[in-house]
Amino acid sequence: ELQVRMTPRRALTVVLEGVADGGEWSLSAWGIEDLAAHSTTNGRFEFEGLAPGPYSFALRGPDGAARHFHYTLAPGGDRELVLRLR
Model pLDDT for residues 9-31, shown as the tens digit of each residue: 888 888 888 776 667 888 888 87
Q: Parallel, antiparallel, or unpaired: how do β-strands 26-31 and 10-17 relate? A: unpaired
DSSP-assigned beta bridge partners for residue 45: 14
Q: Parallel, antiparallel, or unpaired: how do β-strands 10-17 and 80-84 relate? A: parallel
- Record the pTM: 0.74
- Percentage of the chain exceeding pLDDT 90: 2
Measure CA 42 to chain center: 15
| CB-based contact 85:15 (threshold 8 Å) | no
Cβ atoms within 10 Å, residue 25:
21
